[in-house]
A = this chain, B = another copy of it.
């Protein structure tokens, strides 16, 4: 037994101390993300919230939030010249795209979360985490106000104030109820891990309740009426998951009520999945019809009472239906703390916090915002057209030659990505084609434009501006972009790498943030997934389901969650989903 024990001890110690061993042993083809440098976090003066003396040289970066944007920022930060304080009410990062799978037990809640402390301790940096919620940002005095997010009777000072040199706001958004009466009280949401767990319990509760012998058939039917509001990817995926759960697992355990189940999906627009290609929408709608999922488009929810949900159809007709559970998944809205912050900094007439292309909050120094809590307020070419013209017109001749323009065109495209998009959509190779179009068919070298002609040539490009979708992909890319900026802050101070400042002198310090779309999935249940990949490549069916599996496995934030998620899928194939009401 002795040697067995020794082996076992060494075995487990090796695995604890040597994460790379795990990586070697656990065979996966997908990328993990960087060499892991292990180091114990340094202890820090606990009572000190202001930068302590030892750290006084280091600039303090306060990061609010541990979602996609915040975690991606922390994972990619490599510069040890900062004292980083992470503040979030959730001490874990959650892989939110798998939340619909958690609602029905296809994947376990714990398999999609990773403690923030684990993510930050793998670095040689000075990063500290506090489980607290920011309730006020004071940009004037560079302070944030936080309080512990625990609903506990443990006392102690509840609130604290934290100074910052740089503030990174990545607190995400809240659910948008459009102020529909009764939604807060009666609907389930699907934004947090707790929401998914609650939905899972409620689904089982509905089935248990409907199986009680004392109910009328009408009551039974009501309890098994599941309504999903919102035909976006989350709502559609949840509807599909629920349908699979019912048809694959529930029917065997609750045979006497299986025929009473009804799943209804309400969408205010004309089609579900409207951000996807039409082929995907059509396939999804057809599949749902085959599956018996009741799809009601053009149906807007106006009220949710404790047993009934009322809708207004396109025709103006009002109707009501009884329900057992409603899941509300219609989009996002700004959190109160951000609304308050926007008032302070004069962004009063906007609905979302605006940043520039470098993710800096407009009208506010040293504050960055990324992820769902902010949008990039892209600069319009037409607003800067005079500055661009005069910068490009080096000889101050009042006209631009093709040569002059070609010298600044890269800077224009970098600063105003819509120009590139516009050219691409028009199938033009470069800006000369655009000028040609406006000037008529003349020799390239002889084209010269004055300011009015230049304006006219570019008058349509701003139509290509689109705000980025509120997805995990955008947030993660923003986080890693910002971390990269922080990593090279001093370096780029000396050697700016950004485009020319058209309305100022010199160059911008960094290149502006540019989103790269890798495609999007819409799981439709029954081991079928729709995938829309860059270049309008659409794939629907079982093959994309496997693509979905491999992408989602590879995108996991740690090897632990990767192994857990894959083993959850395997488990589900073998044993089905668990229906215990815990």
B16 and A1 contacting across the interface, CB-CB below 8 Å: no
Tell me the count of chain A residues lying within 8 A, CB to CB, of chain B: 99
**Residues of chain B contacted by A397 (CB below 8 angstroms):** none
Q: Choose among B40, B42, B148, B574 the residue that contacts A15 (Cβ–Cβ < 8 A).
A: B574
B3 and A6 contacting across the interface, CB-CB below 8 Å: yes
Q: How far is the CA of A458 from the CA of B22 in the complex (A)?
A: 67
| 15 A–B contacts from the bound complex (CB under 8 Å) | A3-B6, A15-B573, A91-B204, A91-B580, A110-B580, A110-B582, A129-B211, A130-B213, A148-B212, A152-B209, A156-B215, A156-B216, A560-B578, A563-B571, A563-B574
A252-260, A482-490, A516-524 - interface stretch: A252-260
Q: How far is the CB of A227 from chain B (nearest CB, A)?
A: 14
**Residues of chain B contacted by A217 (CB below 8 angstroms):** 46
Give chain A interface residues in 561-582, CB to chain B under 8 Å: 563-564, 567, 571, 573-576, 578-582
Q: How far is the CA of A41 from the CA of B254 in the complex (A)?
A: 9
Give chain A interface residues in 1-47, CB to chain B under 8 Å: 1, 3-12, 14-16, 22, 40-44, 46-47
Q: Which residue of B lies closest to A572 (CB)?
A: B12
A14 and B1 contacting across the interface, CB-CB below 8 Å: yes
Give chain A interface residues in 57-109, CB to chain B under 8 Å: 90-92, 105, 108-109
A219 adjacent to chain B (CB < 8 Å): yes
A317 adjacent to chain B (CB < 8 Å): no
B564 and A571 contacting across the interface, CB-CB below 8 Å: yes
Q: How far is the CA of A578 from the CA of B91 in the complex (A)?
A: 11
**Residues of chain B contacted by A15 (CB below 8 angstroms):** 573-575
A157 adjacent to chain B (CB < 8 Å): yes
A336 adjacent to chain B (CB < 8 Å): no
A448 adjacent to chain B (CB < 8 Å): no
Q: How far is the CA of A574 from the CA of B25 in the complex (A)?
A: 11
B49 and A256 contacting across the interface, CB-CB below 8 Å: no
**Residues of chain B contacted by A268 (CB below 8 angstroms):** none
**Residues of chain B contacted by A5 (CB below 8 angstroms):** 527, 542
B154 and A324 contacting across the interface, CB-CB below 8 Å: yes
A113-121, A172-180, A357-365, A416-424 - interface stretch: A113-121
B209 and A148 contacting across the interface, CB-CB below 8 Å: yes
B40 and A255 contacting across the interface, CB-CB below 8 Å: yes
Q: How far is the CA of A575 from the CA of B115 in the complex (A)?
A: 12
B582 and A211 contacting across the interface, CB-CB below 8 Å: no
B213 and A47 contacting across the interface, CB-CB below 8 Å: yes
Smallest CB-CB A-B distances: 10 pairs: A92-B580, A131-B208, A117-B253, A7-B7, A560-B575, A160-B214, A43-B256, A157-B214, A113-B580, A1-B543
**Residues of chain B contacted by A113 (CB below 8 angstroms):** 578, 580, 582
Q: Choose among B1, B8, B212 the residue that contacts A131 (Cβ–Cβ < 8 A).
A: B212
Q: How far is the CA of A160 from the CA of B11 in the complex (A)?
A: 56
Q: Which residue of B lies closest to A47 (CB)?
A: B213
A300 adjacent to chain B (CB < 8 Å): no
A43 and B580 contacting across the interface, CB-CB below 8 Å: no
B12 and A573 contacting across the interface, CB-CB below 8 Å: yes
**Residues of chain B contacted by A90 (CB below 8 angstroms):** 581
A184 adjacent to chain B (CB < 8 Å): no
A208 and B91 contacting across the interface, CB-CB below 8 Å: yes
Q: Which of A46, A155, A223 has the most CB of B within 10 A?
A: A46
Q: Are A581 and B131 also in contact (CB < 8 A) when A110-B108, A154-B324, A214-B157 are?
A: yes
Q: Which residue of B lies closest to A150 (CB)?
A: B205
Q: How far is the CB of A556 from chain B (nearest CB, A)?
A: 12
A306 adjacent to chain B (CB < 8 Å): yes
Give chain A interface residues in 115-136, CB to chain B under 8 Å: 115, 117-118, 121, 129-132
Q: How far is the CA of A130 from the CA of B257 in the complex (A)?
A: 13
B43 and A215 contacting across the interface, CB-CB below 8 Å: no
A252 and B40 contacting across the interface, CB-CB below 8 Å: yes
Give chain A interface residues in 312-336, CB to chain B under 8 Å: 324
Q: How far is the CA of A40 from the CA of B253 in the complex (A)?
A: 9
Q: How far is the CA of A253 from the CA of B132 in the complex (A)?
A: 17
**Residues of chain B contacted by A256 (CB below 8 angstroms):** 41, 43-44, 46
**Residues of chain B contacted by A254 (CB below 8 angstroms):** 117
A280 adjacent to chain B (CB < 8 Å): no
Q: How far is the CA of A8 from the CA of B3 in the complex (A)?
A: 10
A281 adjacent to chain B (CB < 8 Å): no
Q: How far is the CA of A131 from the CA of B201 in the complex (A)?
A: 13
